[in-house]
Amino acid sequence: MPRKPRTYWTDRAEFYVVTGRLQHYACFHCCKAFKQPFGSGERLCPQCRWPMTNMGTDFKAPPQKDTGQWRKVEALAEAGVRFFPSPPDGLPGERPVALAEVPAFLNRIRPPTAAQRLLAGRPQRSRAPREGKFSVQGQAPHQTFFLFGDRLTQGQHLEVWHSGIWQPARLWGWNGAGGPSHLVLLDEQGQSTGQLPLDPTLRLRWPQ
Ligand SMILES: [Zn+2]
């Protein structure tokens, strides 16, 4: 008699409730991961209150000072790649070793469609303005900020004109409307070098 094919849990939430396996929630601001039970809803970092990302049960947090590895796992997380056991062997599968390998890795696991390849080969002719100032709805501290019509949220990367150069920055903090309250200036390694209040005179642009 043929063996019954092995079945896999398809409902991850049920699996983790049954097994009690802890998830690794990562804070990309503190470069730390925290083991917590699976659950829905937003998890905030116990240290800095930044929203954390569930990187999966098999995630191994890089050393806190290894910013290159942290930027790598953040890039994977942004692309939806996590570290959950998966068929056929119950391991998370192959992952890139370094940040520089991430684009090729993503290309391999999700090859671009013909339309995406066509668009990628064309010069970008966006009519969006290169830079601008944000607009505000509501009164402080319950303000919502927009740049070129897009609502600004925590964690978004921007570039800000400051001290005579364009500097990378990230939206940060919480105001009364649940939106960001200021900009954190970043160096090339993604480390904070200071902060600016969200002032409507700031010159901003999306990262190039
Ligand atoms: Zn944190």
What are the average pLDDT values for consecutive 10-residue runs of the chain, which has 208 residues? 53 66 91 88 89 90 95 90 82 89 88 73 58 83 81 85 88 78 85 86 84
Ligand 1 center–CA 36 separation, angstroms: 14
**In this predicted structure, what is the pLDDT of residue 121?**
67
Same structural domain, 63 and 141: no
DSSP state of 113: P
Same structural domain, 141 and 106: no
Residue 130 lies in a domain: no
Ligand 1 center–CA 108 separation, angstroms: 31
Same structural domain, 195 and 152: yes
Same structural domain, 16 and 105: yes
Ligand 1 center–CA 32 separation, angstroms: 7
| Residue 86 Cα distances to 12, 58, 63, 75, 105, angstroms | 11, 10, 25, 20, 18
* Segments of the chain assigned E as strands: 22-27, 32-37, 53-54, 135-137, 144-147, 150-151, 157-162, 165-172, 182-186, 192-197, 204-205
Residue 128 lies in a domain: no
Residue 122 lies in a domain: no
Same structural domain, 87 and 25: yes
Helix, strand, coil share (%) of the chain residues, nearest 5: 20, 25, 55
Ligand 1 center–CA 69 separation, angstroms: 16
Same structural domain, 89 and 24: yes
Same structural domain, 88 and 143: no
Residue 92 lies in a domain: yes
Ligand 1 center–CA 26 separation, angstroms: 8
Same structural domain, 103 and 156: no
Q: Which residue has the tokens 């043929």?
A: 2
Residue 158 lies in a domain: yes
ipTM reported for the complex surpasses 0.85 = yes
Same structural domain, 23 and 101: yes
Q: Which of 113, 146, 172 is the last residue of a domain?
A: 113
Ligand 1 center–CA 137 separation, angstroms: 28
Same structural domain, 63 and 156: no
Residue 146 lies in domain: 135-205
Counted domains in the chain: 2
Ligand 1 center–CA 181 separation, angstroms: 16
Ligand 1 center–CA 54 separation, angstroms: 13
Q: Which of 113, 143, 164 is the last residue of a domain?
A: 113
Residue 126 lies in a domain: no
Ligand 1 center–CA 183 separation, angstroms: 16
Q: Which of 83, 113, 143 is the last residue of a domain?
A: 113
Same structural domain, 40 and 92: yes
Residue 89 lies in a domain: yes
Same structural domain, 94 and 146: no
Residue 120 lies in a domain: no
**In this predicted structure, what is the pLDDT of residue 9?**
47
Ligand 1 center–CA 45 separation, angstroms: 5
